[in-house]
Structure 1
Amino acid sequence: MRLETTRIDIGTTRPLVLLNTVDATELGAHPLDRLRIEENGTTTGIVKVTDELVEQGVLGVTEPLHHVRGPIDVALAGTPQSVQYVRKKLNDIELEDDELEAIVKDIHENRLSDIELSAYVSAVYANGLSLQETKHLTRAMTDIGRQLSWDAPVVADKHSIGGVAGNCVTPIIVSIVAAAGLTMPKTSSRAVTSPAGTADVVEVFCDVEFSMDEIESIVAEANGCLVWGGGVDLSPVDDAIIRAENPLSIDPPGQLMASVLSKKRSAGSTHVVIDIPYGEGAKVESLADSRELADDIKRVGAHLDVAVTCAITHGTEPIGHGVGPVLEARDILAVLHGEGPESLRLKSVRLAEMLLTHCGVDASAADILESGAALERFRHIVAAQDGDPDVEPDDLEPGSESTTVRAERSGVVTSVDNRQLCDLARRAGAPKDSRAGLVIHKSTADPVEPGDDLYTIYAETGNKRAAAETLAADREPIRVRSKTDALVEQR
């Protein structure tokens, strides 16, 4: 069939094509079928059928296919072989190397529909990946994208598996390690299940999207960088998978390992510290599971020739006071100034010390931070990434809409639930609304009197503030019990 084309903008990253119902009937095409488009080679689109958006004889093409110009010839195309492999994984059957490679290739080439990609993510979440599958998936995800290389024999890196509110240690660690003379080109993801990924927080200070050449220039100037990995095609399949995971708020362990380590290998990292928080409300809830995950991560890292060490840290409550891009950015600056939340300072120093030791550098992370060298290096990196190096904590204002949740009785804080706090911050608009989120006023074991502030919700609109308040009314992210009840809970 020969059709004219028209551009359609419906805000999708998928290569969708819109067929009029009459044309679809003639072709025998149904929604989610593939359409082969002959135009300077062969391109494939995923079918949507409509009565009104396009006329008979016209093919609507979405942004990924805007290069297609009519008139063009179209015909039905077969379903990608990788869809069978997704179905195989749904049936809890281990995938072969070539089957994983086919899935990765088809994700990269946008040949899977949103439903098929979600099915893949759901299959991995429900049935898991074996260590062998994880190794081959990681290698396939690494090989499909571009890779950075560096002259330095040791290239430092750090990553957290997430799940802890306000865990914004990375910019502090990069500043310390780069100030110690190591090369640390930190590429980070945006948020998956959290109210702020590292890239979301750093974007408060400066640009995070750069070309390969620009990243190399920034690192040459500042010893390090804090950029979004998705902007330079490093393990690009990971970003497509993250987009599918995000609405489901899932991050299965095998896919998590493949995600983290494919990005580290693609960034040219040689020595990596992986932070694995564990505890109630974290992604990994038991110490035994965290140790098992650490062992698996190190095995997959060795498969990629990346030296990995893991820090198993307590993740039962937030690190820092702020949750959300701007609020976490304020905590970062405060710690670099020698102030700020003590929990954030201690964890940053501990992980930086581990990374320096892992890289064979004899230097004190605490001394570098306290001397002001880390703050100076952070400002250098921000300036190199087109930001304002002189920004101060008070310059970063949260959303204008706020409400504070207060204690209704006296007692003691017996728990602070990361997952609930993250849910509240996301309901308030984070990370999309950079000034949205929470400020946490109490920690576990703190004494509480009636009327004491527990946490404050910030939003950029009244509707989102109200939505977060409604959720807060059904949750208890900061649990207060009488001293007697608290003793009973401890037993």
Structure 2
Amino acid sequence: MELEATTIDIGTTRPLVLLNTADADELGVHPLDRVRIWWNGETTTGIVKRTDELVDAGTVGVTEPLHYVSGPVEVKHAGTPRSVRYVRKKLDDLELEAHELECIVEDIHENRLSDVELSAYVSAIYTNGLSLEETKHLTEAMSGVGQQLTWDAPVVADKHSIGGVAGNCVTPVMVAIVTEAGLTMPKTSSRAVTSPAGTADVMEVLCDVEFSIEEIQSIVAETNGCLVWGGGVDLSPVDDEIIRAENPLSIDPDGQLMASVLSKKRSAGSTHVVIDVPYGEGAKVESIVAARELSDDFKRVGDHLGMDVTCAITHGADPIGHGIGPALEARDVLEVLEGSGPESLRLKSLRLSELLLEHCGVDASATEILDSGRALERFRRIVDAQGGDPTIQSTDVEPGDESVTIRADRGGIASRVDSRQISDLARRAGAPLDRGAGVVIHQSAGDAVDPGDRLFTIRAETTSKLEEAAELADELEPIRVRSKADALIERR
């Protein structure tokens, strides 16, 4: 069928084509069927949406991923991608072969799967899991798609946390320590998806984080490291599509998690990686037994990929640091580098840095590098190389002007600081898009609390968002205050 292609914006990243119902009936296509489109000697595939109003008969509407298609085109019914058969196979709880996983990854990368089919894949992995062999093959396939970073250094250090702990911004401190010790550590990090701040959001308070591969290589040549947004360099891009499908249901199955983390590390050229696996109430991994099992599997998949992977099993029931949100976490990072700051952030940064240095075979003291001020100077060099102010101090970082402090209405013990609720409050206040928004925590688990003591302060950039966050705070209990007797029972 010959039609006229016209661009249309319906806010999707999928390669959808809108066909008038009359044309769709003539072609014999139903919603989510595929059509092949020929124009100017080239061809592409689109996923069908039928409409009576958005496009006229004789016209095919192409969404943003297909905006390069225009003018007269020929449209024909196309078959279902082969990978859909393999998604059904996994839904039946059958193990997938390496070539089947490669096919799924390729079709996700080429946008051949509809949102429904991609969701079915994620649901199949969540429900039936991945074997260790499947995880190895999936990771290898994902890391083979997209751009690759390469380095001359024989040892390239890296670190990743599986997440779930508010304020866990140890990465900037670690990069400063490890690069000052002489190692190469080109850290590509994510922006927040469901959390109040990713490492890239925190660093963007202080400097630029979006660079080309050539610019990243120049920064690393100058400073030994970088702290940049990984999404700007197309590393393991299939992972980003899968995460987009996982987020609405807040699921992150272990096999896919390992493939996600290690495919990006391999694409970034990392050779030695420390994985932070927090466990505890509210964390992604709730028991130490499960944390150990996950850690062992991370190491096995790393071995398969030729990466030296070790894991740190850390306490993840409580937030790390005082501030939750981009500016507040950036302030905590600078305070630690300056020699003060939250003790929880300082200690975890040192522990993971010592582990990474030892893992890479470097005989250096993370504590000495931090306490001497050398890490701060190295961090400032990285900030400078990334277009920031090299003289930046913690006191220069200002959170949002709007604030409200929640105080204890009774005395006792702070028996629990809930990472998830704290994160929900920070996001309601505007984080991470509003960099100054977030939550400042005034009490830690185990602290004695008197009536009227500050529990936490919400910071926002607008009055309306502050009011929304304050209303949510009334419904939640981010910091539990219990009598001493009740607190002892609760913590057992």
TM score, norm. by length of structure 2? 0.96
Structure 1 residues 246 and 389: alpha-carbon distance in aligned structure 2, compared to 1, 3 A threshold: farther
Question: What's 1:16 paired with?
Answer: 16
User: C-alpha displacement at 1:145, in angstroms?
Assistant: 2.0
Separation (CA, whole Å) in 1 of partners of 2:446 and 2:385: 42
Question: What's 2:392 paired with?
Answer: 391
User: C-alpha displacement at 1:442, in angstroms?
Assistant: 0.7
Question: What's 1:168 paired with?
Answer: 169
Question: What's 1:448 paired with?
Answer: 449
Separation (CA, whole Å) in 2 of partners of 1:115 and 1:46: 11
Q: Which amino acid aligns with 1:452?
A: D
Structure 1 residues 425 and 307: alpha-carbon distance in aligned structure 2, compared to 1, 3 A threshold: same
SS in 1 for 2:74: strand
User: C-alpha displacement at 1:222, in angstroms?
Assistant: 0.8
- Kindly indicate whether the alpha-carbon contact (under 8 Å) linking 1:191 and 1:431 is maintained by their aligned counterparts in 2: yes
Q: Which amino acid aligns with 1:327?
A: L
Question: What's 2:338 paired with?
Answer: 337
User: C-alpha displacement at 1:155, in angstroms?
Assistant: 0.7
Question: What's 2:44 paired with?
Answer: 43
Separation (CA, whole Å) in 2 of partners of 1:339 and 1:11: 46
Question: What's 1:297 paired with?
Answer: 298
Alignment of 1:114-153 (within 5 A): 114-153=115-154
Separation (CA, whole Å) in 2 of partners of 1:101 and 1:461: 47
Deviations 1:356-396 (A, max 9, x none): 11111111111111111111111111121122222222332
User: C-alpha displacement at 1:303, in angstroms?
Assistant: 0.3
User: C-alpha displacement at 1:192, in angstroms?
Assistant: 3.8
Separation (CA, whole Å) in 1 of partners of 2:318 and 2:464: 28
Question: What's 1:320 paired with?
Answer: 321
Structure 1 residues 89 and 405: alpha-carbon distance in aligned structure 2, compared to 1, 3 A threshold: farther
Farther-moved stretch of structure 1 (178-187 vs 432-441)? 432-441
Deviations 1:1-45 (A, max 9, x none): 111122222332211112222222222222222121112322111
User: C-alpha displacement at 1:397, in angstroms?
Assistant: 2.4
Q: Does 1:52 align with 2:53?
A: yes
Q: Which amino acid aligns with 2:354?
A: E
SS in 1 for 2:278: strand
Separation (CA, whole Å) in 1 of partners of 2:262 and 2:491: 38
Q: Which amino acid aligns with 2:480?
A: R
Q: Does 1:77 align with 2:78?
A: yes
User: C-alpha displacement at 1:219, in angstroms?
Assistant: 0.5
Separation (CA, whole Å) in 2 of partners of 1:163 and 1:432: 19
Question: What's 1:275 paired with?
Answer: 276
Separation (CA, whole Å) in 1 of partners of 2:456 and 2:92: 44
User: C-alpha displacement at 1:176, in angstroms?
Assistant: 0.6
- Kindly indicate whether the alpha-carbon contact (under 8 Å) linking 1:139 and 1:304 is maintained by their aligned counterparts in 2: yes
- Kindly indicate whether the alpha-carbon contact (under 8 Å) linking 1:118 and 1:245 is maintained by their aligned counterparts in 2: yes
Structure 1 residues 163 and 263: alpha-carbon distance in aligned structure 2, compared to 1, 3 A threshold: same
Separation (CA, whole Å) in 2 of partners of 1:139 and 1:392: 42
Farther-moved stretch of structure 1 (402-411 vs 315-324)? 402-411
User: C-alpha displacement at 1:327, in angstroms?
Assistant: 1.4
- Kindly indicate whether the alpha-carbon contact (under 8 Å) linking 1:405 and 1:453 is maintained by their aligned counterparts in 2: yes
Separation (CA, whole Å) in 2 of partners of 1:275 and 1:410: 35
Structure 1 residues 60 and 401: alpha-carbon distance in aligned structure 2, compared to 1, 3 A threshold: farther
Question: What's 1:311 paired with?
Answer: 312
Farther-moved stretch of structure 1 (238-247 vs 104-113)? 238-247
Q: Which amino acid aligns with 2:15?
A: P
Q: Which amino acid aligns with 1:430?
A: A
- Kindly indicate whether the alpha-carbon contact (under 8 Å) linking 1:175 and 1:378 is maintained by their aligned counterparts in 2: yes
Question: What's 2:30 paired with?
Answer: 30
Farther-moved stretch of structure 1 (351-360 vs 51-60)? 51-60
SS in 2 for 1:454: strand
Separation (CA, whole Å) in 1 of partners of 2:421 and 2:199: 20
Separation (CA, whole Å) in 1 of partners of 2:129 and 2:135: 9
Question: What's 2:203 paired with?
Answer: 202
Question: What's 1:364 paired with?
Answer: 365
Separation (CA, whole Å) in 1 of partners of 2:258 and 2:157: 18
Question: What's 2:243 paired with?
Answer: 242
Q: Which amino acid aligns with 1:335?
A: V
- Kindly indicate whether the alpha-carbon contact (under 8 Å) linking 1:208 and 1:226 is maintained by their aligned counterparts in 2: yes
Give % identity: 74
Question: What's 1:2 paired with?
Answer: 2
- Kindly indicate whether the alpha-carbon contact (under 8 Å) linking 1:192 and 1:245 is maintained by their aligned counterparts in 2: no
Separation (CA, whole Å) in 1 of partners of 2:318 and 2:149: 35
- Kindly indicate whether the alpha-carbon contact (under 8 Å) linking 1:146 and 1:235 is maintained by their aligned counterparts in 2: yes
User: C-alpha displacement at 1:476, in angstroms?
Assistant: 1.6
- Kindly indicate whether the alpha-carbon contact (under 8 Å) linking 1:206 and 1:382 is maintained by their aligned counterparts in 2: yes
SS in 2 for 1:426: helix
User: C-alpha displacement at 1:151, in angstroms?
Assistant: 0.9
Separation (CA, whole Å) in 1 of partners of 2:102 and 2:466: 44
- Kindly indicate whether the alpha-carbon contact (under 8 Å) linking 1:192 and 1:249 is maintained by their aligned counterparts in 2: no
Structure 1 residues 310 and 244: alpha-carbon distance in aligned structure 2, compared to 1, 3 A threshold: same
Question: What's 1:408 paired with?
Answer: 409
- Kindly indicate whether the alpha-carbon contact (under 8 Å) linking 1:163 and 1:193 is maintained by their aligned counterparts in 2: no
Q: Which amino acid aligns with 1:51?
A: D
Q: CA RMSD in A?
A: 1.6
Structure 1 residues 460 and 115: alpha-carbon distance in aligned structure 2, compared to 1, 3 A threshold: farther
SS in 1 for 2:270: coil
Q: Number of aligned pairs? A: 491
User: C-alpha displacement at 1:263, in angstroms?
Assistant: 0.8
- Unmatched runs of 5 consecutive residues or more in structure 2: none
